Amino acid sequence: MRWVGLVLVALAVLFGAAGDDGPLSPESTQRRDLLSTLDDLALRLVRQSPQTITSRGIARELGVRNDGLDSLVLDASGESFAPLEQALARIDRESARLERPEDRRACAIYAWWLRAVLAGRPFQDDVCLVSTYMTSYPQAIAWFLVHVHPLRTRGDAEDYLSRLAQIPARFDELAARLASSEAKGALAPRFLLVRAADQIDAIGRQSDGAPPLLARFVAAASDLSDVDARTRDELVGEAERLVREVVSPACARLAATVREIAGRVTDDVGIWRATDGDAYYGYLLRAYTTTDMSAEEIFDLGLREVPRIQSEIRLAASPLGYDGTDSLSSLFARLRADRGVVKGVPAVEACQALVRRAPEFSRAAFALALPSDLAVEPGGSIAYFVEGARDGSRPGAFYVPVDQVRPTYSLPSLVYHETIPGHALQIQAAHDAELPAFLDGVSFAAFTEGWATYAERLAWELGAYVNDPYGNLGRLQEELFRAARLVVDPGLHAMGWTYDQAVAYLLDATGLSEATVRDEVDRYVVQPGQAVAYGVGLYRLLELRERAREALGPAFDLALFHEAVLAWGSVPLPVLEGLVDDFIASRAREDAKEPSP
């Protein structure tokens, strides 16, 4: 998955948090050029999210400090949405008159994003803000401070202390949001809330050493570039005080609140339980897939793809001595035993070796530059890629799930998904494309996750597994896993599946370990719809590539196809279809100009 810098602004802006600025007046917007107005709007949205400013590394550029945390207070008046509504109305009214087709396309992409944001307004209290998954607000704040906030100078350290001091206020806002979500029946189930409360406690208090928020500060303090020993000790002392007297009590209060709420809810799962759950899930499917596919259509797609991929796995396993008639659970259990598992530092080292190798087989399929400065870091229980900061304070980094025991055969597809030719390459291509400023940070899951899942398959097509048939089985299992998600996610949220039913289906269909399956089902329970973006995006990309190949014949060029697909960053799938159709027409014209041999 891609842990994008805009996750936290999604909480603050996309779901209606009040900003400091009022709406743009109709008079002022009419006087501005359309594209400049959209740039201004995008900048204002970013300014409302201090954490996004830090994530992008643009605080110095904007003349601000990295010292704030995004507010969770909802804008009851709806004024925060007024500038977005005005911008969308201007796009609808004026974009068709823009002279340059690239400007019209940029406006079309932004209009998709604006419509998705505005369509989410009725569901502000349906968002699951506390769970065991990394999008849970308390875990996200801790992760942000430990992994994103810069700590190179005294100013950085003072900003960090300022953010620590704000945690109680943010947690109080979160408690108010939880009360509203409880009223709608939109909270995580009891068993996840109980575990989430333990995780919240651990943010401010840890039995085996300093809490992560303090440990990170203490470790970085010794390398601050502009402080003497006395000042360093004072800063560390203040951090210790804040964690002990401010952060830890705030975590304890929030954990107690979550435990109290857990006592009032059930272990039932599925967003259909919420008062507007069906409408919310329909919105999420549209937002995540950028299609009009219904829950039933997505479910049926998964049911078609799962047996197809299962057959491919059996065919690939038979030459290696595995019984093709065994259940997939038995087959992959044997494979795990034969090839071994990995965790912790050895997992990081294995992934580092794979990242170094990825450019070798990828170059042939890309005319654009490949990422060259990627960090591979220990993460938590899931894998994710974080794009680097613009100010150079932090490189793009792939976080390896060191807390999770993974089969060694699964690591190649994981690396190719997150780095090259997956997320890292797609993100760099978007930056290199020099897109309009208002598209910076706009992201569509069906494209980004569809591309990264496509990258896993592309690596196989480019020969990455020629000498690694076991790794290829891992790749096929991952593809099977994405297809099974198309069944399980709507099963849980639209068809009334129980938690145990979802676990049983995934175990039987994919052959993944029970621990992995339970972690995944936990994720789908609290983040409805997101998991289907991978498969929907993958299959659409493959369909469009086949369309181009059939239309162009010998004139089809894979590297140029990828260049066209990646040229506009992350786009909704209907816009992607237009990009591919333009690519086909352009290549056909070029081919017609070339003289016959």
The tens digit of pLDDT for each residue in 50-76 reads 999 999 999 999 999 999 999 999 887
Per-residue confidence (pLDDT) for residue 574, from 0 to 100: 97
**Is 561 part of any domain?**
no
Indicate the length of the chain as a whole number: 597
Same domain assignment for residues 406 and 307: yes
CB 91 within 8 A of CB 84: no
Per-residue confidence (pLDDT) for residue 592, from 0 to 100: 80
Position 427 pLDDT exceeds 90: yes
Q: How confident is the model at residue 23 (pLDDT cuts 50, 70, 90)?
A: very low
Q: How confident is the model at residue 13 (pLDDT cuts 50, 70, 90)?
A: very low
Per-residue confidence (pLDDT) for residue 594, from 0 to 100: 67
**Is 328 part of any domain?**
yes
**Is 162 part of any domain?**
yes
Query: 542-573 in b/e burial notation, b at 16+ Cβ within 10 A?
Result: eebbeebeebbeebbbbebbbbbbbbbbbbbb
Position 5 pLDDT exceeds 50: no
What tens digit of pLDDT does each residue of 260-293 get?
A: 999 999 999 999 999 999 999 999 999 999 999 9
**Is 520 part of any domain?**
yes
Per-residue confidence (pLDDT) for residue 76, from 0 to 100: 73
Same domain assignment for residues 355 and 407: yes
When pLDDT is averaged across residues 560-588 and rounded to a whole number, the result is 97
When pLDDT is averaged across residues 390-395 and rounded to a whole number, the result is 82
Per-residue confidence (pLDDT) for residue 15, from 0 to 100: 40
Per-residue confidence (pLDDT) for residue 11, from 0 to 100: 36
The rounded Cα 131 to chain-centroid distance in angstroms is 16
When pLDDT is averaged across residues 494-498 and rounded to a whole number, the result is 96
**Is 576 part of any domain?**
no
Same domain assignment for residues 225 and 332: no
Tell me how many degrees the CA angle 136-342-460 measures, rounded to the nearest 5. 90
**Is 84 part of any domain?**
yes
Percent of the chain with pLDDT over 70: 93
Position 475 pLDDT exceeds 80: yes
Same domain assignment for residues 114 and 230: no
| Range of the structural domain that residue 116 is part of | 1-123
**Is 569 part of any domain?**
no
The rounded Cα 292 to chain-centroid distance in angstroms is 21
Same domain assignment for residues 105 and 167: no
The rounded Cα 276 to chain-centroid distance in angstroms is 25
Same domain assignment for residues 252 and 300: no
Per-residue confidence (pLDDT) for residue 21, from 0 to 100: 46
**Tally of structural domains, the chain:** 3
Q: How confident is the model at residue 590 (pLDDT cuts 50, 70, 90)?
A: confident
CB 66 within 8 A of CB 50: yes
What tens digit of pLDDT does each residue of 343-357 get?
A: 999 999 999 999 999
Same domain assignment for residues 180 and 134: yes
Same domain assignment for residues 137 and 103: no
Per-residue confidence (pLDDT) for residue 75, from 0 to 100: 83
Position 28 pLDDT exceeds 60: no
Q: Indicate the residue among 534, 554, 584 that finishes a domain.
A: 534
Q: Structure tokens of 429?
A: 């291509």
CB 441 within 8 A of CB 5: yes
| Rama region for 111: left / alpha / beta (φ>0; ψ in -120 to 50; rest) | alpha
Instruction: Compute how many other C-beta atoms are within 10 angstroms of the C-beta atom of residue 518.
Output: 16
When pLDDT is averaged across residues 164-193 and rounded to a whole number, the result is 96
Same domain assignment for residues 92 and 142: no
Per-residue confidence (pLDDT) for residue 63, from 0 to 100: 95
Q: Indicate the residue among 534, 561, 590 that finishes a domain.
A: 534
Beta strand 396-400 with 374-378: parallel, antiparallel or unpaired? parallel
What tens digit of pLDDT does each residue of 180-238 get?
A: 999 999 999 999 999 999 999 999 886 667 788 999 999 999 999 899 999 999 999 99
Same domain assignment for residues 85 and 203: no
Per-residue confidence (pLDDT) for residue 262, from 0 to 100: 97
Residue showing tokens 């609290």: 526
What tens digit of pLDDT does each residue of 84-119 get?
A: 999 999 999 999 999 999 999 999 999 999 999 999
Q: How confident is the model at residue 372 (pLDDT cuts 50, 70, 90)?
A: confident
**Is 562 part of any domain?**
no
What tens digit of pLDDT does each residue of 290-334 get?
A: 999 999 999 999 999 999 999 999 999 999 999 888 899 999 999
Q: Whole-number mean pLDDT of the chain?
A: 91
Locate all alpha helices (DSSP H) within 375-468, ordered by sequence: 411-418, 423-432, 445-461
Report the alpha-carbon distance of residue 597 to residue 367 in Å, rounded.
25
Task: State which H helix or E strand residue 305 sits in.
Answer: helix 295-317
Per-residue confidence (pLDDT) for residue 142, from 0 to 100: 94
Per-residue confidence (pLDDT) for residue 596, from 0 to 100: 57
Per-residue confidence (pLDDT) for residue 390, from 0 to 100: 83
DSSP conformation letters of 9-33: HIIIIITTBPPSS-PPPHHHHHHS-
Same domain assignment for residues 337 and 398: yes
Q: Indicate the residue among 518, 534, 550 that finishes a domain.
A: 534
Percent of the chain with pLDDT over 90: 83
What tens digit of pLDDT does each residue of 434-453 get?
A: 899 999 989 999 999 999 99
Same domain assignment for residues 337 and 465: yes
Q: How confident is the model at residue 597 (pLDDT cuts 50, 70, 90)?
A: low
Beta strand 341-342 with 406-407: parallel, antiparallel or unpaired? antiparallel
